[in-house]
């Protein structure tokens, strides 16, 4: 379980707190959605989960984050990456290898898995995202959707127990979004905790998360099941979010 315990964080040189007294718990086997307008602290929250904050991003942090009981201040990002894998928006920020296979092996090698384990994980990860057939190709020869799936495979191969993803659907077409949903559902099915930061509520609704957190100005404004959160149209709208269409229609029908 990941426990975020009363965290307040301010980036160095910034006048505002990016997160204010945020507390939440993330369990395995569930899909969590983190939503909120730009600047709400969603990306900052993600960076707490694997120790990027406080090790890499400088600033002032109060409170603590525990990953299976281990305080993130006391473990390195490399160590935490074995438990919590973070996937960022632009896959091209990762790629530097000649083949897809090598790229996916980089993570496991860096965290010190042994060769037999690496072989097995890489195969598993590539199969999970449906890229095993393309393993000899160059990463940059892939389509946009394939690159996105490759970036996920690169993290999955480290066999983390939590997968945290930052805006996976940006720039993706409907087919790609659909395959991403399948991947995340499968991960949940395999007992992993999946944390997704997104502004695409329509897609998130279809994915079927277990819990949704709404952030604004660094504060968790509301949390609950998707139905609860998405049907509170007023709350979403005042926080700069567009609810999934079916909820908008349902609410308007009730009024009328």
Residues near another protein (CB under 8 A): 12-13, 37-38, 47, 50, 52, 56, 58, 76-78, 81-82, 85-86, 88, 90, 92-96, 106-107, 110-112, 140, 143-145, 154-155, 158, 170-176, 199-202, 240-242, 244-246, 248-249, 252-253, 256
Tell me the closest approach of the beta carbon of residue 252 to another protein, in angstroms.
5
Q: By C-beta, is 116 or 140 nearer to another protein? A: 140
Residues 196/34, Cβ–Cβ less than 8 Å: yes
Tell me the closest approach of the beta carbon of residue 37 to another protein, in angstroms.
7
Residues 17/60, Cβ–Cβ less than 8 Å: no
CA distance 103 to 114: 16
Residues 195/32, Cβ–Cβ less than 8 Å: yes
CA distance 31 to 207: 9
Q: By C-beta, is 189 or 255 nearer to another protein? A: 255
- 65 in helix, strand or coil? strand
Tell me the closest approach of the beta carbon of residue 221 to another protein, in angstroms.
17
Q: By C-beta, is 109 or 185 nearer to another protein? A: 109
Residues 22/7, Cβ–Cβ less than 8 Å: yes
Tell me the closest approach of the beta carbon of residue 3 to another protein, in angstroms.
20
Tell me the closest approach of the beta carbon of residue 145 to another protein, in angstroms.
6
As a residue count, the chain comes to 256
Tell me the closest approach of the beta carbon of residue 76 to another protein, in angstroms.
8
Q: By C-beta, is 147 or 220 nearer to another protein? A: 147
CA distance 204 to 122: 28
Residues 133/126, Cβ–Cβ less than 8 Å: no
Q: By C-beta, is 7 or 53 nearer to another protein? A: 53
Q: By C-beta, is 29 or 39 nearer to another protein? A: 39
CA distance 236 to 116: 48
């Amino acid at each position: 379980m990941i426990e975020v315990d009363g965290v307040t964080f301010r980036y160095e040189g910034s006048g505002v707190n990016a997160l204010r007294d945020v507390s939440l718990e993330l369990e395995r086997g569930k899909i969590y959605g983190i939503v909120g307008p730009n600047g709400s602290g969603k990306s900052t929250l993600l960076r707490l989960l694997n120790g990027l904050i406080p090790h890499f991003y400088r600033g002032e942090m109060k409170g603590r984050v525990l990953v299976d009981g281990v305080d993130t201040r006391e473990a390195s990002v490399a160590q935490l990456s074995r438990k919590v894998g973070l996937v960022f928006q632009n896959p091209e920020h990762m790629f530097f290898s000649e083949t897809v296979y090598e790229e996916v092996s980089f993570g496991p090698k860096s965290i010190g898995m042994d060769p037999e384990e690496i072989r097995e994980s890489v195969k598993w990860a590539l199969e999970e995202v449906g890229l095993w057939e393309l393993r000899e190709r160059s990463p940059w020869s892939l389509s946009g959707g394939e690159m996105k799936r490759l970036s996920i495979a690169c993290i999955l191969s480290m066999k983390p127990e939590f997968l945290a993803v930052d805006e996976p659907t940006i720039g993706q077409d409907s087919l790609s979004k659909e395959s991403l949903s399948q991947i995340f559902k499968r991960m949940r099915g395999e007992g992993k905790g999946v944390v997704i930061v997104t502004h695409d509520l329509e897609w998130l609704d279809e994915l079927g998360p277990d819990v949704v957190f709404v952030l604004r100005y660094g504060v968790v404004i509301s949390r609950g099941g998707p139905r609860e959160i998405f049907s509170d149209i007023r709350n979403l709208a005042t926080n700069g979010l567009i609810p999934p269409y079916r909820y908008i229609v349902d609410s308007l029908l009730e009024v009328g």
